[in-house]
């Protein structure tokens, strides 16, 4: 397997990469990374730079073809799965659920209550709603927000909004954070580094799914 870290986890939120690699090693997953990994092209596609995106896709396809590609980022997952031809792609939430069900990751259930934010790219775009929730429920009690699954509120970061219209992105993020706080939970889990980046705040702990599992899963590191 090739672990495609994605720009955000690779450069800005490196704790996600560290948590992911720790989980892969604990589960004895045979994987490697690209030292010169390039952007998947998602941002170029979503902001209308189609020619540049296609050039990036063609370069990456030559490198990624024949691999089973694991992604941290929901945006990378959607792009590699839908906008590339013939790649075998799995989001880390899907793989973690599989590893837990197979007993390759030994986690323990706690009485912690957490809430979950559906990333637009993983949820509405790719119809992946259940597996991240199953991972969370293997460790904690999931308390849903008012808007979830297909009706989830966007975090505000996608589609170039955070770069072009930061005030709008901030307002959207605050709306989602308020919904999370209404659940009474102190921890918010998301499957997307980009979402985590925009949802981080002073009132709630915001964790990527991998960071959540490492912190609260009581993993058996001797397995």
Listed in sequence order, the DSSP H helices in 2-105 are: 7, 14-26, 42-46, 50-64, 74-82, 92-101
What is the pLDDT at residue 221? 61
Q: What is the pTM of this model?
A: 0.91
Residue 27's CB is within 10 A of a number of other CB atoms, namely 20
Is the model's pLDDT at 223 over the cut of 60? Answer: no
**pLDDT at site 222:** 45
> Region 21-47: what's the mean pLDDT?
92
So what's the pLDDT on residue 162? 75
CB-count exposure of residue 136 (10 Å: 0-12, 13-18, 19+): buried
Which pLDDT score is estimated for 107?
Answer: 93
Please count the other Cβ atoms lying within 10 Å of the Cβ belonging to residue 38. 12
Tens digit of each residue's pLDDT (9 = 90 or more) over 111-155: 999 999 999 999 998 899 999 999 999 999 999 999 999 999 999
Max CA separation in the chain (angstroms): 50
Report the pLDDT value the prediction gives residue 218, as an integer from 0 to 100.
Answer: 86
For 82-118, write each residue's pLDDT tens digit.
Answer: 999 989 999 999 999 999 999 999 999 999 999 999 9
CA torsion angle 103 95 135 222 (round to 10): 40
Of residues 115 and 173, more confidently modeled: 115
- What is the chain's mean pLDDT, rounded? 92
Q: Which pLDDT score is estimated for 43?
A: 82
Give mean pLDDT, residues 182-194: 95
**Please, which pLDDT band fits residue 69 given cuts at 50, 70 and 90?**
very high
Could you give the percent of the chain with pLDDT greater than 70?
98
């Amino acid at each position: 397997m090739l672990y495609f870290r994605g720009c955000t986890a690779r450069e800005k939120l490196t704790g996600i990469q560290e948590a992911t690699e720790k989980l892969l090693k604990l589960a004895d997953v045979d994987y490697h990374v690209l030292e010169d990994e390039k952007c998947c092209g998602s941002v170029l596609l979503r902001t209308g730079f189609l020619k540049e995106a296609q050039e990036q896709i063609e370069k990456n396809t030559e490198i990624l073809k024949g691999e089973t590609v694991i992604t941290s980022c929901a945006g990378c997952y959607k792009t590699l799965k839908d906008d590339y031809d013939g790649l075998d792609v799995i989001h880390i939430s899907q793989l973690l659920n599989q590893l837990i069900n197979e007993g390759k990751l030994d986690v323990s259930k706690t009485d912690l209550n957490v809430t979950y934010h559906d990333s637009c790219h993983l949820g509405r775009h790719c119809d992946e709603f259940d597996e991240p929730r199953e991972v969370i429920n293997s460790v904690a009690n999931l308390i849903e927000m008012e808007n979830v699954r297909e009706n989830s509120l966007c975090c505000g970061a996608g589609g170039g909004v955070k770069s072009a219209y930061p005030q709008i992105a901030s307002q959207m993020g605050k709306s989602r954070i308020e919904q999370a706080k209404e659940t009474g939970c102190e921890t918010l889990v998301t499957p997307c580094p980009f979402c985590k980046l925009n949802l981080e705040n002073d009132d709630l702990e915001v964790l990527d799914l991998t960071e959540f599992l490492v912190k609260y899963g009581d993993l058996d590191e001797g397995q």
